[in-house]
Amino acid sequence: MRGGAPTAARAGVVPCGTCGLLSRPAGAVGPWTCPRCGDRIASRRERPFQDAWAYIVAAAICYLPANTLPVMTTRTIKYEEPSTIIGGVVYFYESGSWFLALIILVASVIIPLGKLASLAYLLATTQRRSTAYNRERARLYRLLKVIGRWSMLDVFVVAFVVALIQFQPFMSVVPGTGVLFFAAVVILTIFAADSFDPRLIWDAD
C-alpha cells in the first residue's frame, strides 16, 4: 500500500494511551492532556526500543541462575536434596508423570525462552523497519502478552509444597533462591512485552 494506510499518526491525531480517545493536538508543543480522562498524552516514545531491550537482557541474565540454582531443597533426617526446575521435570518424567513433566517444561523452559527469543525477533525486525509478515508478527506479539504469566507456575508450586511439607524433623521442604530469579524472569519479560509498542511494527508499512 503505497502512500500508507490511514493511521492516526498520519492524520495528525493522537490516541490517548489510557482511554483510547482520539484527539487533535491543540498546539505544536506538548504536554497535552486528554480531554476525556485527563491523563497526559504522549505522541510516541522517543527511544522506543531501548527499554524493551534492557528488560530482555536483564531477563536473559536472570534466566541462568533461575535454572541452575535450586528452587527448593528437601530435608530429611538422613539427607538434604536440592532440586532445580529441570530436576523437577526429570523427576516427574522418570516417575511416570510425563504429562506433568511436559506442563512444567512448557511453563518454565519453553515459554520464557520462546518469549525472550520472540521479543528479540520482533524488536530486531521492527528496528530494521521490516514490512514482511506484519500480520504474523502482530499476532505473535498478542500471543506473547497472554502466555508470559504461565511461567510463574513453578513459583506457585514451590510455595504450596513448602507450605505443606513441614513434618519436622522427618521431612521438610525449604524454598531456594532459584525461585526469586525465576519470578524476576517472568516480571522482566512482562515489562519487556509491555514496553514494546506494537504500532511500530506497522509504521514502515
Give contact residues for Zn ion (rule: CB under 5 A).
16, 18-19, 21, 34, 36-37
Q: Which does 60 bind (CB under 5 to 8 A by kind): other proteins, Zn ion, none?
A: none
Instruction: Name which of 20 and 64 has its Cβ closer to other proteins.
Output: 20
Instruction: Name which of 53 and 182 has its Cβ closer to other proteins.
Output: 182
Q: Which does 95 bind (CB under 5 to 8 A by kind): other proteins, Zn ion, none?
A: other proteins
Site for other proteins (CB under 8 A): how many residues? 73
Least distance (Å) from other proteins to the CB of residue 5? 6
CA 45 to CA 53: how far, in whole Å? Answer: 14
β-pair partners for 75: 80, 172
Considering only residues 60 to 89 of the shown chain, the ones binding other proteins according to CB under 8 A are none
Which helix H or strand E contains 199, and what residues bound it?
helix 199-203
Binding letters toward other proteins, positions 95-134, x by CB under 8 A: x-x--x--xx--x--------------------------x
Considering only residues 135 to 164 of the shown chain, the ones binding other proteins according to CB under 8 A are 135, 138-139, 141-142, 149-150, 152-164
Contact of 162 with 179, CB cutoff 8 Å: no
Least distance (Å) from other proteins to the CB of residue 16? 9
DSSP H helices in 35-177: 50-68, 85-94, 98-105, 111-127, 134-147, 153-164
Contacts 24+ apart (CB under 8 A), 21-28: none
Considering only residues 181 to 200 of the shown chain, the ones binding other proteins according to CB under 8 A are 183, 187, 190, 194, 198-199
Using only C-alpha atoms, the chain has a radius of gyration, in whole angstroms, of 23
Q: How many CA atoms lie within 13 A of 104 on its CB side?
A: 22
User: Cell numbers 513453578 label which residue?
Assistant: 154
